[in-house]
Structure formats: C-alpha cells, structure tokens
Amino acid sequence: MIHAMPRKPTSTPRSLASTEWLHKGLMLLFIGLAVLVGPVFMSPSALRDTVAASSPVGWFAVVLGGAFVLLHARRRLVDRRR
C-alpha cells in the first residue's frame, strides 16, 4: 500500500497572519475613509448629519488600519531578512 507524503505548506502560519493584518488594515482604511468622505457626497438629511458626527470613528479606523498595514510591512521586511 502506497501512502502519499504530506505536502509542505506553501505559506507559514506567520505569513498567513501577516496577510490577515494587511486585509484587515485595508478594510479599516476603506471604512474610515468612507466615513470621513461620505458626508460630502450625501444629500442633506439626518443620516448625513449622523455620519458627519461620527468623524472621530472614521479617524480611529484610518489610524488603526494604517497601523495594521505598517505592521504587515514590518513583518514582511523581517521575514525577508531571515
């Protein structure tokens, strides 16, 4: 009976985690920018006022997303040096 050898994983768990940081960071950046820029393109309404009032949440998402993207870049640089 012939058993196949298990394949080596193509990605290490660390690189998968790093890729997840990138995806989460880009999504947070997109959401934050949408919250910040959205009221400019919305017609005057109560919803527009609510979205405009939530600009601190948008800035928080932009900063957090940027931090996640920078963390991904730092991990990628460290992995290349190894």
Q: Where are the domains of the chain?
A: 14-81
The predicted structure's pLDDT at residue 6: 66
The predicted structure's pLDDT at residue 19: 86
28 neighbors 61 (Cβ within 8 angstroms): yes
Question: Tell me: the pLDDT tens digits for 26-79?
Answer: 999 999 999 999 999 999 999 999 999 999 999 999 999 999 999 999 988 888
What pTM, to 2 d.p., does this model score?
0.75
pLDDT at 2 over 90: no
